[in-house]
Amino acid sequence: MRFNRLHEATGYIVPTDYTQTISRYAVELSYDDLPEVVRLKTKQIVMQAIGSALAAKDISVSKKTETISILGNNGNGGPCTSWGTGSSMSSVNAAFAAGVKSDLLGWGECSDRGHFYSVIVPAAWVAAEEQGKGGREFLTAVVAAYEVCTRIANAVQPDKRHKKNGWGVTSWPIFGAVIAAGKLYDLDAREMDQAIGLACECSTIPTTYSYTKMSDFLHCEYGNRARDGILIAKSVKKGINNARDTLDESSCYSCAMTDEWKPEYYTQGLGTDYMILDTRLKHWPGCWKAQTALDITYRLVKEQGICAGQIAGMTVETDYAGWAEVPEEGFRSILQAGFCLSYLLAALLYVPEPAQWYNRENLEDRQLLEKARNIRILSGEQVEPVYLDTVLKEKGNTLVTITTCEGVVYTGEGDSMAFEDNDTGAVFRKQVQGVSPEFAECAEVSLEEIEDCDNIAELRWIPGGKK
């Protein structure tokens, strides 16, 4: 039976059932369905998302986000935890705060379609905490959200005309939040179909404005999508009618995103090919294009025992272009600094705790900025527009050369797309080192065994940053 009976153009019935298939998949997916490799990957993503938010807890934008969330909440109080502070909030405000904070340092994932972790994980955690769901239900909701959201993004990737206006990196993640929250709020397949319809209506206009202006509002966009997912799931649970089967209609969502709609991608490999496994996890806070250069530099310094003060010169040759310059007055935003490879390398060498790279003091530190200017970046030609859907499939090479004051030259190179194997536990410990070593150890073990937790609310101390 079709869910939508109000489509006059096709005789009150839509010709395909993509939305229904997706809805049933999301509702029916169980923890027992998940291969062990998928379970492990999901826990790694969760750990990195929470660690990213905790790493950002002392950053001014994170503190402002907390203030905004408390104001929206009309003070403290509610069933859910604000990440990084441990204060109590409503699910809606907690999802917003967690989404912003987890994305703030750019220290999470880099998949082919953007930062899903900073929308899906916050929405799923908040919903599970509010509903008293266990670890297995939580992990399953995260997987369902990744699988559906990635496929929707694949189906509506922008054509040349739409790319000129922007890329939907902060648009389609709303489907991830809706699926995760909807599953944990126990929507049935018909309601999930309805929730997807509302997500189509609430998805933002694709734009690259935040990137163009290097505005930290970009991170607020991810918080907004996490918040909207919670609101939509709750709204459907209370009762909303006549917005089903929307992904099947060319006049609804796809027409605003692309002229090259590929609806068959909605269900391609669904249930057999787990796209969540393609998620790359970053080692360092900053642009994905900088990860290989940072890895190589870290390895050279560690293996050769090079102290930062011994370095007389440094050069990086990379195929990637479009790096931000080091401004004379310092960086005005976290996003701007995260796209400056020379600054990221200087911060790696001279600021021991990565979570402090984006403190206002460091972003304006004249000595650190001068160190960054002395690092030469030799890059390839800029190709516009640059989108992850094409760039991530390209191969390139990165070469790092360090010359010491004694004239000794060290070099290291690697494939620009070959992120080294990620030890998520080690990254998590770096992310939360500003809390305490004891917290890091307990939190890491608890997240590694989260499937054994009967109620996510019992683990609220982890994203709250307080044992």
Q: 158 CB contacts (<8 Å, ≥6 apart)? A: 165, 166, 167, 168, 206, 257, 258, 387
- DSSP percent split of the chain into helix, strand, coil, nearest 5: 55, 10, 35
> What's the chain's average pLDDT?
90
pLDDT score of 166: 74
Instruction: Reply yes or no on whether the pLDDT at 15 is more than 90.
Output: no
Crossing angle of helices 217-238 and 189-202, in 10° steps, is 140
pLDDT score of 1: 37
pLDDT score of 101: 98
Q: Residue 122: which H helix or E strand, with range? A: helix 117-131
391: burial class by Cβ within 10 Å (0-12, 13-18, 19+)?
Answer: middle
Q: State which amino acid sits at residue 370.
A: E
pLDDT digits (tens, 9 = 90+) for 438-447: 999 999 999 9
pLDDT digits (tens, 9 = 90+) for 249-291: 888 889 888 989 999 999 999 999 999 999 989 999 999 889 9
Find how far residue 55's CA is from the centre of its chain: 14
pLDDT score of 388: 45
pLDDT score of 20: 94
156-160, 348-352, 391-395, range with the lowest pLDDT: 391-395
* Pair type for strands 311-318 and 397-404: antiparallel
pLDDT score of 389: 46
Domains in the chain, CATH or no CATH each: 8-282+459-464 (1.10.4100.10), 288-415 (3.30.1330.120)
pLDDT score of 319: 80
SS3 80: strand
pLDDT score of 160: 79
Bridge partners (DSSP) listed for residue 399: 317, 413
Closest to 146 in 3D by CA, of 123, 127, 120: 120
Q: Residue 399: which H helix or E strand, with range? A: strand 397-404
Q: Residue 196: which H helix or E strand, with range? A: helix 189-202
pLDDT score of 202: 93
pLDDT band at 215 (very low <50, low <70, confident <90, very high): very high
C-alpha 395/C-alpha 299 separation (Å) is 21
Most confident among 73-82, 209-218, 233-242 (mean pLDDT): 73-82
Q: Please state, for a pLDDT cut of 70, what percent of the chain lies above it.
A: 92
* φ, ψ dihedrals at 410, nearest 5°: -120, 140
Q: State which amino acid sits at residue 77.
A: G
pLDDT digits (tens, 9 = 90+) for 64-122: 999 999 999 999 999 999 999 999 999 999 999 999 999 999 998 876 577 999 999 99
Instruction: Reply yes or no on whether the pLDDT at 414 is more than 80.
Output: yes
Please report the beta strands in 67-195, taking only residues with DSSP state E, as ranges in sequence order.
80-81, 88-89, 109-110
pLDDT digits (tens, 9 = 90+) for 428-465: 999 999 999 999 999 999 999 999 999 999 999 999 99
pLDDT band at 386 (very low <50, low <70, confident <90, very high): very low
Instruction: Tell me the whole-structure pTM to 2 decimals.
Output: 0.94
Instruction: Reply yes or no on whether the pLDDT at 4 is more than 80.
Output: no
C-alpha 93/C-alpha 458 separation (Å) is 20
Give the Cβ contact number of residue 275 at 10 Å.
21
356: burial class by Cβ within 10 Å (0-12, 13-18, 19+)?
Answer: middle
Asked if 226 and 99 count as a contact pair (C-beta separation under 8 A), the reply is yes
Q: What is the DSSP letter of 345?
A: H
Q: Which residue has the higher pLDDT, 390 or 321?
A: 321
Q: Residue 179: which H helix or E strand, with range? A: helix 173-184
Q: What is the DSSP letter of 405?
A: T
Asked if 291 and 339 count as a contact pair (C-beta separation under 8 A), the reply is no
pLDDT score of 159: 83
C-alpha 399/C-alpha 411 separation (Å) is 7
Q: State which amino acid sits at residue 283.
A: H
pLDDT score of 32: 98
pLDDT score of 387: 44
pLDDT digits (tens, 9 = 90+) for 372-385: 999 999 986 654 44
